[in-house]
Chain A
Amino acid sequence: MAAALIAALGLDQPEAQSSSIAVLEKGNADSSFVLSCFMWECLVGRSARECRANGLLLPRPSESSAAVLLVSCHHSAAHYRNQSLKLGLNLTSLSQKGLFEELDLTKAISSSLVKSGCMADFINDSGTIIVETLFSSIRSRLLKMKDSFKSVCLIIGNINDIITTGVSTSHIFTFINYLQGLLAEIDCMSLVISTHFTDDDESERLLGSFLKNASDLTVTVSGLQTGLSKDVSGCLNVWGQSTPSGTYHYRLLDRQVKMFSPGASSV
């Protein structure tokens, strides 16, 4: 399950106040599992703790659950649905209840290139994202979700891929700035943005630094410096204002994310 990661980030505490979270993935590490864990926390994690306190074993979405809007730029929405299913979260059934919505940009890019299916309005014919329209689409969806649910969460996976489609870095900064503005506009909203980060590429380096600066909590996912290991999948670094900073190692199992201190993998 995802509870170990959420506990490591300190988000299981009632007084947790991280409304803006940045997830940076370094090198060839993949941070999609962190986003899946955030979705788990928003949709069933909080209610699971309440259920446990009341002596119930099976976590179910409740009034304390936050509605989630996922904007996936690198992985397909199906990837996140499968990953969440491994963590015990059926996003398909939750989307029927209106608790979960997705904007699959990879699918939108594919449709725009081949000019088939229902073309999204936030993408042009040549596969470039129009960030102004994308922001309007995100905002209207969030406001609609807020009407039905107490809190909402916006999760954007690998925002740097929008730059790869041809959007300038300054446009992305403005886009993120507008998204940060939504935090003030919509009550009980949280924002999670992930990006790939490499020092060699100037735009990715700037984007990573900007996100780190603009967020309350930064989670950096990187691979092991010594290569791959069967016992450790990678390294996770937490840095935040209201959360104790720390370095953890994690191991991805088939249906679970294990967290432990460096050197304690065998314990």
Chain B
Amino acid sequence: MAALTSDGNVTSFQKKGRNRIPYIQGTRQSVQNAQILASSGVPSLDHVLGSGLPVGTILLIEEDVFGTFSKLMLKYFLAEGIACEHPSFLASLDTIPKSLMKELPVPIKTESSSGTSIDSKADPMTIAWRYQNMRQNRVVILYGPGPTEDDRPIGDFGNKNYGYLLSKIHQKISEGQFRVQDEPSKHSILRVAIHSLGSPMWVDSTTDANIETGIKRDLPRFLLYLRSLLRESYALAVVTVPSHLFQDPSIHKLCEYQSDMALRFESFAGSSYETNPVFKEYHGLLHIRKLGPVNTLATHVPESLDLAFKLRRRKFVIEKLHLPPELQESAQREQDDIASGKRSGIGCASSPNSKLDF
């Protein structure tokens, strides 16, 4: 079908269809592949991952030993969603989801942009994380232990907990009209945060004779099914996994394979690095395990793989690992001085104890 120009002439040049990518608040389009990107809540992590998390993908976080920083990442992810008015879904069997939501970080607002900060306006106390200052029109869906009577597990899992969780996520996707074929009045994205998936709290002792075998069977399958659901919807997921608890190394490798991006947090807490002066500015190391291609040929390659993170009073920062400058003389240098002093006694210089030394 030909198009008509303003003067009535027929031309064969026409724009094919309308732009099928809707505008969603708090997202941006990738320049490379027109993929919709959403922020993880930590700008420095977005920079490492290539401008953000692509919608329809899974970011897998392998937890640090105490799970402190991986949980913090989830909080930032959820807080970013609330700030951008994205509906969020939080699932955890290890902690009470409501208590986790009470510790979300508030957005940092500068004096110049807002006149007065939120802290001085609402409450004179300076508390880093507060839930009460969050926007009132938030939509947060929580998933705790114990399915309701209406829940029916989906997927072929030995452990029904995974089936119930998947069913709940699917229910929220269809209720919120997040599927690709849906046409809601206002498009948004669903942020799915799953805390400590595969931890001992997820084990179904009635069905799993061997716990590790059950996890190895169900966890990669859950991620495969979740990825299939997310690919067909405007949703993205951040899943934390306590990989240090798995004795079988193949479990976390299969989980990494089934996810689109994978990170591992290594905290210095409780390790010898905690007191090491070399790492005194940081709280841990960040290992990039996988950055898979999504709808593109070339993947993003970060500037450096030597990444470390530190938790400041009001900010979580990921940056390139820098060793501190050498300001004090080390033991090696002292030894060198002594050795050089001994050698110098042979030459024209005086001995180390000589008063003529300067």
Interface residues of A (CB under 8 A from B): 27-28, 30, 32-33, 36, 76, 78-79, 82-83, 86-87, 106-107, 109-110, 113-114, 126-128, 161, 164-166, 196, 198, 200-201, 227-230, 233, 252-255, 257
Contact = CB atoms under 8 A, between A and B. Distances in A.
Interface stretch (B191-199, B251-259, B278-286, B333-341): B251-259
A230 B301 contact: yes
B100 interface: no
B273 interface: no
Contact of B250 (A127, A200, A227): A200
A86 B298 CA distance: 10
Contacts of B275: none
B221 A164 contact: yes
Nearest to B291: A228
B253 A76 contact: no
B229 A110 contact: yes
B297 A36 contact: yes
Given A28-B290, A126-B156, A128-B156, A109 B225 contact: yes
Given A107-B232, A126-B156, A201-B254, A79 B294 contact: yes
Contacts of A166: 156, 221
Nearest to A27: B253
B156 A198 contact: no
Contacts of A127: 154-156, 225, 228
Contact of A254 (B225, B292, B297): B297
A33 B62 CA distance: 27
Interface in B223-253: 224-225, 227-229, 231-232, 248-250, 253
Nearest to A82: B295
A200 B224 CA distance: 19
Contact of B292 (A30, A230, A233): A30
Interface residues of B, number: 41
A113 B225 contact: yes
Nearest to B302: A228
A79 B232 CA distance: 12
Contact of B297 (A78, A113, A128, A253): A253
Given A164-B221, A229-B301, A230-B301, A106 B256 contact: no
B174 interface: yes
A230 B299 CA distance: 10
B298 to A, nearest CB: 4
Nearest to A126: B156
Chain A CB count within 10 A is highest, among B156, B288, B289, for B156
A83 B174 CA distance: 29
Contacts of A254: 32, 296-298
Interface of B: 32-33, 154-156, 166, 170, 174, 220-221, 224-225, 227-229, 231-232, 248-250, 253-254, 256-258, 262, 288-299, 301-302, 305
B228 A28 contact: no
A127 to B, nearest CB: 5
Nearest to B170: A114
Given A28-B289, A200-B250, A110 B232 contact: yes
Contacts of A33: 293, 297
A200 B216 CA distance: 12
Contacts of B305: 227-228
Given A28-B256, A228-B305, A164 B220 contact: yes
Contacts of B249: 200
Nearest to A108: B228
B55 to A, nearest CB: 13
Contacts of A230: 301
Given A76-B231, A109-B225, A114-B174, A83 B301 contact: no
Given A28-B257, A113-B225, A253 B298 contact: yes
A257 B156 contact: no
Contacts of A201: 250, 253-254
Contacts of B170: 113-114
A83 B228 contact: no
A113 B230 CA distance: 12
Contacts of A82: 33, 295-296
Chain B CB count within 10 A is highest, among A114, A161, A227, for A114
A30 to B, nearest CB: 6
A171 B249 CA distance: 25
A165 B224 contact: yes
B220 A83 contact: no
A149 B164 CA distance: 47
23 contacts: A28-B256, A28-B290, A30-B292, A82-B295, A86-B297, A106-B228, A110-B232, A113-B155, A126-B154, A127-B156, A164-B220, A165-B156, A166-B156, A198-B250, A198-B254, A200-B248, A201-B250, A228-B288, A229-B301, A252-B293, A252-B297, A254-B32, A254-B298
B166 A113 contact: yes
B224 A161 contact: yes
B298 A233 contact: yes
Nearest to B292: A30
A171 to B, nearest CB: 14
A165 B156 CA distance: 8
B231 A106 contact: yes
B198 to A, nearest CB: 15
A27 B301 CA distance: 17
A240 B297 CA distance: 26
